[in-house]
Amino acid sequence: MTIKCDIIVVGGGHAGCEAAAAAARLGVDTILLSADPMALGRMSCNPAIGGIAKGHLVMEIDALGGVMPEITDRTAIQYRVLNRSKGLAVWSPRAQCDRELYSSEMSRVMHAYKNVRVESGVANGIKVHEDGTFGVFLDKERRIHSKAVVLSCGTFLNGLMHYGEISTQGGRIGEAPVNGLTESLLNKGFKSGRLKTGTPPRLDGRTIDYTLLERQDGDANPILFSVNSEKTHLPQIPCWITYTNPDVHKILESGLDRSPLYTGRIKGIGPRYCPSIEDKIVRFADKERHTIFVEPEGVHTDLVYPNGFSTSLPEAIQLEAIRKIPGFETVEIVTPGYAVEYDFFPPHQLRHSLETKLIPGLYFAGQINGTSGYEEAAAQGLVAGCNAALAVRKDDRTLQIGRDEGYIGVLIDDLITRGTEEPYRMFTSRAEFRLKLRLDNAHSRLASKAHGLGLIDNQRFAYSVQEDERLKVVLDGLKAIRRPAKSGEKMTLYELLKRPDVKLDDLMPYLEQSVLDRINENRTTEFIRKVEAEVKYSGYLKRQAYRAADQQRNRGKVVPKDFKYYNIKGLSAEGLEKFSRIRPDNIGEASNIPGITPSDIAVLLIHLKRLDGRGTKKK
């Protein structure tokens, strides 16, 4: 039986759901394929969305009309803004979610999404037809015929799970791996690699003594992720903190000889920023304790997630060690921690649209590209889905976000021009335009792009435009009025507000009533924060804007797909090797490649220009 559609999205995780939803918003007939259609958008690891720099990604996904932000707001059980003591640019909202509810809510939304059909099944091969269309094989009987394919298979490609000395095939606990797809791609000329990630055991909350733990409450006035959200929907509950100690470490050490990490069973590379507990005690042996965040998995469950205790040691060792932690003396493990190895495809094989360079119409998103994290996956899914839809519609535009426009842009550009050797996670320090890429302006950064492509509707766009205008009125109002500063010198309110100790509240008495009215229009606290950030960072924003303008100019210069680098005289050996391997699409990408010198770029520019010259001559 052959099912037909325009786009098939393979995998119903965070990347897959956003990909299908984005393609569908553009009006393209989309199939979302999942092994378990009632459990889409599952959180395989910690039950939380957002966090440092990831919170920014979620805000940007909201600005692009994605599904993750609203579902997070509907299923959150605790909100906390990390970095609240620092400037607004690095405020990072994080929400603890009800794990089961999140997945069932995502499934409900996707099943109801216009233009999306959710199909049950596992893909084990892809065929590219001569006319450029695709056949995706599910099993002997079924195949899906489509014009474009988005692969978002998470950790399932040849997934191998490790518990101590036991290894079993699978992409997530209790779920079978996907075999055959990697091989099918290798046959088409792709290169693959192997990564590893891990997760802690899940605990029975009824067996924890909370009196021995530190309580950590959420924010009283949470920052929600979606502009569509007005309030929290679930009861807000606390998290808890405890610590490991030398007794715990001693027991963990006794199990190292059976650790798949140290016996060489695990070949894949794991994330250094998220090491397993056994890795931490080996690499940082002098540290006497490590923090464990004790996070509830939901409102209606006793399951608890001990964040910071990721491990792949034998289950018996896990239990013995964790019971030495205060509060966990009699704890029961419901499911043990484990490590999972999976195939990924080094992302230099992609374009910025997330289309593969080898096969037009084939897109990759999420862990298949070497990233980790739900938010990173969702962001890529959205971009891949949108671009696949544009391609299917024969629209020659693409959704591309610049490094100065969003963390999503930084994420994709890093992947493609710099590659990754370990699972890639977003950090604010990766964004050179960090002061500009804030959560308060995500919509104004991306709304017109999103609206132009059809990712958000008119109403959402109008709201964003109105907010921009409101900000401008207030900034102009601040510039229009002068007051004496402490020094006696007269300054505009705008200049005064730049000082670290001055708040907008202090200047309210001097502002025109019409300006005050705009400030108090709606969501006033949020708006005041935005005005303050805009003014206080303004000097630095200007500096960054110059840098951004340079990048923008360079980005425009396109390198032809079949450009022959070995013909170029004057390139350094390293430049020649890297350009030939990575094959940058444009000068912006080329100059971001590590090891590339200004003279390589100059030489490349000259030869591109020569090419242009020839082209015009012929005409």
By CB under 8 A, what part of segment 526-555 binds other proteins? 537, 540, 546-547, 549-551, 553-554
DSSP 370-428: TB-SHHHHHHHHHHHHHHHHHHHTT--------TTT-HHHHHHHIIIII--SS-B---G
Q: Which two tokens stand for residue 189?
A: 């000329």
Q: How far is the CB of 80 from other proteins (least distance, A)?
A: 10
Give, as ranges, the residues between 429 and 448 that touch other proteins (CB under 8 A). Answer: 429-430, 432, 434-435
Give, as ranges, the residues between 9 and 48 that touch other proteins (CB under 8 A). Answer: 46
Measured CA to CA, the distance from residue 272 to residue 198 in angstroms comes to 12
Q: How far is the CB of 609 from other proteins (least distance, A)?
A: 6
Q: How far is the CB of 457 from other proteins (least distance, A)?
A: 34
Measured CA to CA, the distance from residue 485 to residue 490 in angstroms comes to 6
> Burial of 110 by CB count in 10 Å (0-12 exposed, 13-18 middle, 19+ buried)?
buried
The one segment of 7-15, 173-181, 276-284, 460-468 that binds other proteins by CB under 8 A:
276-284
Give, as ranges, the residues between 498 and 517 that touch other proteins (CB under 8 A). Answer: 500
CA 26 to chain centroid, in Å, comes to 22
Q: Which two tokens stand for residue 610?
A: 């020569």
Closest CB to other proteins among residues 66, 198: 198
Q: How far is the CB of 603 from other proteins (least distance, A)?
A: 5
Measured CA to CA, the distance from residue 378 to residue 384 in angstroms comes to 10
H or E, element range at 532? helix 524-536
Name 499's Cβ contacts closer than 8 Å, sequence gap at least 6.
Answer: none
Q: How far is the CB of 574 from other proteins (least distance, A)?
A: 12
Measured CA to CA, the distance from residue 595 to residue 582 in angstroms comes to 12
Closest CB to other proteins among residues 356, 551: 551
Give, as ranges, the residues between 193 and 212 that touch other proteins (CB under 8 A). Answer: none
Neighbours of 594 (CB within 10 A): 9
Q: What are the counts of helices (DSSP H) followed by strands (DSSP E) for the chain?
A: 20, 24
Residues 551-590, mask of contacts with other proteins (x by CB under 8 A): x-xx-------------xxxx---------------xx--
Closest CB to other proteins among residues 77, 548: 548
Q: Which two tokens stand for residue 503?
A: 């708040």
Residue 600 amino acid letter: D
Closest CB to other proteins among residues 235, 598: 598
One residue of 180, 214, 334, 427 binding other proteins per CB under 8 A: 427
Q: How far is the CB of 335 from other proteins (least distance, A)?
A: 19
Q: How far is the CB of 414 from other proteins (least distance, A)?
A: 7
Cβ proximity of 312 and 261 under 8 Å: yes
Give, as ranges, the residues between 68 and 107 that touch other proteins (CB under 8 A). Answer: 82-83, 85-87, 89-90
Cβ proximity of 133 and 263 under 8 Å: no
Cα angle value 381/382/384 (rounded, 5°): 65
Please tell me whether residue 55 binds other proteins under the rule CB under 8 A: no
Torsion of CA 570, 600, 593, 449, to 10 degrees: -130
The one segment of 189-197, 274-282, 332-340, 352-360 that binds other proteins by CB under 8 A:
274-282
Residue 357: which of 527, 562, 114, 537 has the closest Cα?
562
As beta bridge partners, residue 340 has 161, 197
Please tell me whether residue 258 binds other proteins under the rule CB under 8 A: no
Residues 286-305, mask of contacts with other proteins (x by CB under 8 A): -x-xxx-x------------
Residues 378-407, mask of contacts with other proteins (x by CB under 8 A): -------------------------x----
Closest CB to other proteins among residues 488, 613: 613
Cβ proximity of 372 and 424 under 8 Å: yes
Place of tokens 């399932």: 156
Closest CB to other proteins among residues 51, 164: 51
As beta bridge partners, residue 588 has none
Closest CB to other proteins among residues 142, 557: 557
Q: How far is the CB of 296 from other proteins (least distance, A)?
A: 16
Q: How far is the CB of 500 from other proteins (least distance, A)?
A: 5
Name 39's Cβ contacts closer than 8 Å, sequence gap at least 6.
Answer: 12, 103, 104, 107
As beta bridge partners, residue 314 has none
Closest CB to other proteins among residues 316, 606: 606
Closest CB to other proteins among residues 74, 555: 555
Please tell me whether residue 219 binds other proteins under the rule CB under 8 A: no
Give, as ranges, the residues between 585 and 614 that touch other proteins (CB under 8 A). Answer: 587-588, 591-592, 594, 596-603, 605-607, 609-610, 613-614
Q: How far is the CB of 104 from other proteins (least distance, A)?
A: 26
Please tell me whether residue 278 binds other proteins under the rule CB under 8 A: no
Please tell me whether residue 242 binds other proteins under the rule CB under 8 A: no
